[in-house]
Structure 1
Amino acid sequence: MYQASTLVNFFVVLAAVPLLATASPVQLPRSFDNLPSGTHALAFDSETGRVSAYTHNGAFLAHVNQTVAASKRADGTCSNLGPNDLTGLAGWNLVAAQAAANWGNGKYNLATNINNEADYPALACVSDDTAMVTVKGNPSCVTSTQTSSGTLVGTSGSVTLSALEGTSSTTTITTTKTSDWSLGVSVAATIGIPDIVDTTTTVSTSISITNSLSNAVTTASNNQQTQTITMNAADGATCSLTFTSKSCTGSGTGSIVMVARGVGMVRIREKGESLVNGHYYWALNIEAYIPDASQRSSSIDFTAAVSAINDSQYKGTCT
């Protein structure tokens, strides 16, 4: 649930018949401060500009004041939702039922992101949870012994050799199932990739993935660190490092979860009557009425092809 000061920064606008297209019938307020505790719904009087706060069951709490500040969606992690997206939510019936219980069972139509108003979007946002890759089966690995190029020892009788120790990996993410929303839209997500060489660790990396079937994106991760080894030897000797190199490949699956967020504004028309309360827009917090995020979520499923190389166990020799 949003904090009180930002409860209505995200608007999903529902209006009376006929269905709204691109023009907003009113100038919506920007945001609000000091909402009373327990505010789950707001009523906006488009004639007076006054906003009233109500409880979950429709009981009046107080009138509230507007401010000019407005929250923005996080760049790249969210995309706009359309009217059909909202009515397609598994838990949308909970919002509709509460609106009917509080203010009548009249007809209403749905519009979202009117005039592309950035301060009041209806959004699907990537979950804050890392999308973990689950590796299928055991990775295929090959271990070999490698030798670095030789370095001549100078007159000082010593030489310092440098080596990269640790794991580097490359992962290709391919979409196998699109989200119900935002087809073709690219979103930013954090992917958790198991280290297939050392399965006790996980690497987190940020990617931008397009919500389209078979879309593929490759990301690289490098957890190698430079190690130095100083060796003493006679002038003119050649020193080198031998080390173990382990190469592994594996595949897995994962899901990026998109979650619907925002506030729904309902304007209801009773049969044979004018709009309920004349000119009120009832704003309902979607997260308050659909607390189970799984009922307002959809996922982008993907496969992951991972390849990794680990270099370790360095030992110096001079000849």
Structure 2
Amino acid sequence: MFALSILFVAAVASALPFDQLTKTLPQDVAHIGLDEEAGEYVAYKLNGEVYGRYPVTSGAQAITKRDSTCGDLSAEQAQQMSGWNILNKYADDNWGTGSRNIVTNPSEYLDRPAQVCISDEVVQLNFDKDPVCQSHTTTTEGKLVGTDGTVAIGVNQGFTTDTSYTVSQASTLGIDSTLSVKIGIPEVADVTQSYTISTSVTNTLSSTFDVAYNDLSIVTVTMKAPEGQTCTAKAETKTCNLSANGTIRYLATGWVWFNYDSKTQGHYKWAANIDNIITNIDDRSTTSKFSGSMSADTHTAYEGVCA
């Protein structure tokens, strides 16, 4: 009780916006009622016990900047979750089956977000088949850099790729949203090194996005040219094509509001926490799939020749 009193006093003093307040609440707080007459949020544990009451922030809502990997979750999309029946039954059991509206991200309380987020920190790319590669040689002439016949030749070394991928299956969550994704490219011997790159993906069927990487650097070869001879550098470049694919998981998180036409259990409006009520992430997530042909250029061996 003493700890609860301290938390209550702190909430009164700071009047935290809803999204900041919920971060201070324990895991077993599963739903919150809105006491509009008192201007308070009432937090309840899973067992129905009241955890605490907190003042609603008045005036302009202080919105926490959303991560680029997250977007708004609509009420329609929330009801597409395979675990929606769990959330809906929770509302029925706790507040009744009376006439109600399902709302997410209400305009009058923008600090109570329902979001869909890309759940994987890095989305790993998979290769379907062995790479198909071709090698070719390029020749670069040197330039005189001294009176003693010294020449310098610049040779590219490293790896580049610029690939376009197409969404072949869109997620039913986060439809049309464009979110930041980190794509992990695995190492393929003699073709590509392992690296991670950020890009933006739109969750729409047939939409495309690019994954580009460049770590080319110029290695300078300095040679002494015999009198009457021309020096060149021969460099080998291997170009490989790989069929690649990946899967992005979109995960629903945050709060869904059940707004009743008649007061139930003391309130008209109840917010249910998606994360705490639908505990299996497979029940509140769906995936999108993408594929494409990755082309990689690897600049490998070189040698200087004078003739």
In the superposition, the TM-score normalised over structure 2's length comes to: 0.81
State the distance in 2 between where 1:116 and 1:104 align. 24
- How far 1:57 sits from its partner (Å)? 1.7
In the alignment, structure 2 segments of 5+ residues that lack a partner are 1-6, 8-16
Does 2:21 align with 1:32?
yes
The residue type paired with residue 113 of structure 2 is P
Q: Secondary structure at the match of 1:42?
A: strand
- How far 1:65 sits from its partner (Å)? 4.3
Aligned length: 288
The structure 2 residue matched to 1:204, chosen from 191, 196, 199, is: 196
Does 2:53 align with 1:63?
yes
Does 2:291 align with 1:299?
no
Does 2:209 align with 1:217?
yes
The residue type paired with residue 276 of structure 1 is T
8 Å CA contact 2:181, 2:201 repeated in 1: yes
Does 2:210 align with 1:248?
no
The structure 2 residue matched to 1:73, chosen from 43, 51, 66, is: 66
8 Å CA contact 1:34, 1:64 repeated in 2: no
State the distance in 2 between where 1:47 and 1:215 align. 47
Match of 2:10 in 1: none
State the distance in 2 between where 1:64 and 1:221 align. 49
List aligned pairs for 1:156-167, cutoff 5 A: 156-167=148-159
Q: Which moved more, 1:134-143 or 1:183-192?
A: 183-192
List aligned pairs for 1:8-23, cutoff 5 A: none
List aligned pairs for 1:43-54, cutoff 5 A: 43-54=33-44
- How far 1:79 sits from its partner (Å)? 3.0
List aligned pairs for 1:77-92, cutoff 5 A: 77-92=69-84
Cα deviation, 1:39-70, whole Å, max 9, x if unaligned, reads 33222201111222221221112223456643
- How far 1:110 sits from its partner (Å)? 0.7
Q: Secondary structure at the match of 2:21?
A: strand
Match of 2:256 in 1: 264
Q: Secondary structure at the match of 1:71?
A: coil
Cα deviation, 1:261-282, whole Å, max 9, x if unaligned, reads 111233446xxxx421343432
- How far 1:313 sits from its partner (Å)? 1.5
- How far 1:120 sits from its partner (Å)? 3.1
- How far 1:165 sits from its partner (Å)? 0.8
Inter-CA distance 237–146: structure 2 relative to 1 (3 Å threshold): same
Inter-CA distance 197–173: structure 2 relative to 1 (3 Å threshold): farther
8 Å CA contact 1:80, 1:113 repeated in 2: yes
- How far 1:188 sits from its partner (Å)? 2.6
The residue type paired with residue 298 of structure 1 is T
List aligned pairs for 1:99-138, cutoff 5 A: 99-115=91-107, 118-138=110-130
The residue type paired with residue 169 of structure 1 is T
Inter-CA distance 73–36: structure 2 relative to 1 (3 Å threshold): closer
Which structure is higher in helix share? Answer: 2
8 Å CA contact 2:63, 2:110 repeated in 1: no
Match of 1:15 in 2: none
State the distance in 1 between where 2:145 and 2:228 align. 5
Match of 2:3 in 1: none
In the alignment, structure 1 segments of 5+ residues that lack a partner are 5-27
Match of 1:41 in 2: 31
- How far 1:115 sits from its partner (Å)? 3.1
